[in-house]
Amino acid sequence: MPSLAESGGREGSGQLSAPRLRPGTPERAGLDPDELAHLVREFHRLTDGDRPWAAGAVLVAGRGPVIAVEEAAGWAVRYAAYDEATGTGVQLPRRDRVPMTAHTAFDLASLTKLFTSVAAVQQLERGTLGIDARVGAYLPDFTAAAEYGITVRHLLTHTSGLRPELPLYDCPDDRARRALLRAEEPVTAPGGAYGYSDLNMLLLQHVLERLTRRPLDVLVRDGITRPLGMTATGFGPCPDAAATEDQRRPWAKADRGMLRGEVHDENAWALGGVAGHAGLFSTAGDLAVFCRTLLAGGSYGTARILGPDYVELLLSPPGLGFALDQPWFMGDLAGHGAAGHTGFTGTSLVLDPSTDTFLVLLANTVHPRRGPADNGPRAAAATRLARAVRGVSGAGA
């Protein structure tokens, strides 16, 4: 087992401790209480009705070290199945449903990419990984990546030219999956246009594991979640998590039935549940700690997972793993360096260094079946938080 310093996390490094999160009032957080009241009302409407935006959701928002909003709504488990004939979910009797709580864990889906990115930047800080080093230097057996000169920077910025995904879930075994990934050639020239791809984080996972000789779940645990006290965060299974999808073809890529506590992403499932692009489970409270750590320059309490310069590198344009200033889910928080990500299952987080605010909105929008993404509620919630900052600032606070 590596020490915290070896894996990236550090404790007792001689610096002043960073304040830990604590619950408080909007006023103590420096936020407009009226705007936050609107935010809470709008949040609870998201799970109302026969066809809600999500079966259930959890919201945590704050500024500085103060959590000003922590709310849960709806159901962690509402449906037994999806009925193709009616196009609706088969609802469980109320007595058999599982209510959502503020401590419910969620399948994070692509929010996992943020943790893989932090694990990579930890290796940059240690000097064991070069951001412009070629992937082939670490993975010479990944012949296509080596031939086309794909670099670590290309993976972290989604400019590798690789297509969005591969059907690893259709491969008969791990050897076939690995062979498919090794041979995958970019469809556009590396270093060119942005092209979001799960394959970037899968290759980055292989780089990190080859470099450190430790699996990704250990790197994330020892370098990020354990030093930060994020005890509810880890790769699955997670039996008490919010349910996701009645996963069946043709709308899904595998026939697995109603999922709860097993990773939703089909490729992550095929890879055993630990993947660079998906597989983590967590709670809104734990993710608030993650956001606060980055807003505080990489420290939380007495723990430090990154130095301030490397947090700045992580969150500077174009962003390493993080999306920057995207109004489609960040609303009016976007525009001054806000960073975050969304996940296919209905998860999202935003942190805004310019206002020292954070917003975590977790929902099981794919329960009982996936559909077209509606990011309007995410953007609206972020806009309410931005207005809460302006409302106080406008009053001269």
Q: Give the pLDDT confidence score for residue 393 in this predicted structure.
A: 62
User: CB under 8 Å to 135, separation ≥6 — which residues?
Assistant: 142, 145, 146, 150, 151, 152, 155, 203, 207
The predicted-structure confidence for 81-90, as pLDDT tens digits, reads as follows: 999 999 999 9
The predicted-structure confidence for 201-218, as pLDDT tens digits, reads as follows: 999 999 999 999 999 999
34 vs 16: which has the higher pLDDT: 34
Q: Is the pLDDT of residue 111 over 50?
A: yes
H-state helical runs in the chain: 4-7, 26-29, 33-45, 112-126, 135-138, 143-147, 152-156, 174-183, 198-212, 216-220, 226-228, 266-270, 284-295, 308-315, 327-330, 376-394
Phi, psi of 156 (to 5 degrees): -70, -25
Q: Give the pLDDT confidence score for residue 16 in this predicted structure.
A: 63
pTM exceeding the 0.75 threshold for the entire prediction: yes
Residue 31: HSE in the Cβ half-sphere, 13 Å Cα cutoff: 31
Cα–Cα dist 75/97, whole Å:
7
Q: Give the pLDDT confidence score for residue 169 in this predicted structure.
A: 97
Mean pLDDT, residues 96-124: 98
Cα–Cα dist 181/144, whole Å:
9
Task: Report CA Rg, the chain.
Answer: 21
Cα–Cα dist 36/385, whole Å:
7
Q: Is 353 exposed, middle or buried, given 0-12, 13-18 or 19+ CB atoms closer than 10 A?
A: middle
Q: Give the pLDDT confidence score for residue 391 in this predicted structure.
A: 85
Q: Give the pLDDT confidence score for residue 17 in this predicted structure.
A: 81
State the average pLDDT for the chain: 94
Cα–Cα dist 263/270, whole Å:
10
Tokens representing 205 are: 């996972």
Residue 4: pLDDT band with limits 50, 70, 90: very low
The predicted-structure confidence for 179-207, as pLDDT tens digits, reads as follows: 999 999 999 999 999 999 999 999 999 99
Q: Is the pLDDT of residue 32 over 90?
A: yes
Mean pLDDT, residues 16-26: 91
The predicted-structure confidence for 223-243, as pLDDT tens digits, reads as follows: 999 999 999 999 999 999 999
The Cα-based distances of 315 to 123, 210, 221, 341, 345 in angstroms read 16, 25, 22, 12, 24
Mean pLDDT, residues 56-68: 98
Residue 13: pLDDT band with limits 50, 70, 90: very low
Query: Does residue 248 contact residue 84 with C-beta atoms inside 8 Å?
Result: no
323 vs 3: which has the higher pLDDT: 323
Q: Is the pLDDT of residue 95 over 50?
A: yes
The predicted-structure confidence for 317-368, as pLDDT tens digits, reads as follows: 999 999 999 999 999 999 999 999 999 999 999 999 999 999 999 999 999 9
Q: Give the pLDDT confidence score for residue 278 in this predicted structure.
A: 98
- The CATH number that domain 4-9+18-394 falls under is 3.40.710.10
CA dihedral 163, 181, 252, 368 (to 10 degrees): -90
Residue 7: pLDDT band with limits 50, 70, 90: very low
The predicted-structure confidence for 276-326, as pLDDT tens digits, reads as follows: 999 999 999 999 999 999 999 999 999 999 999 999 999 999 999 999 999
Nearest to residue 280, comparing CAs of 340, 235, 316, 246?
A: 235
Q: Is 97 strand, coil or helix?
A: coil
Cα–Cα dist 155/191, whole Å:
10
Q: Give the pLDDT confidence score for residue 306 in this predicted structure.
A: 98
User: CB under 8 Å to 382, separation ≥6 — which residues?
Assistant: 329, 330, 331, 332, 333, 334, 338, 350, 359
Mean pLDDT, residues 132-161: 97
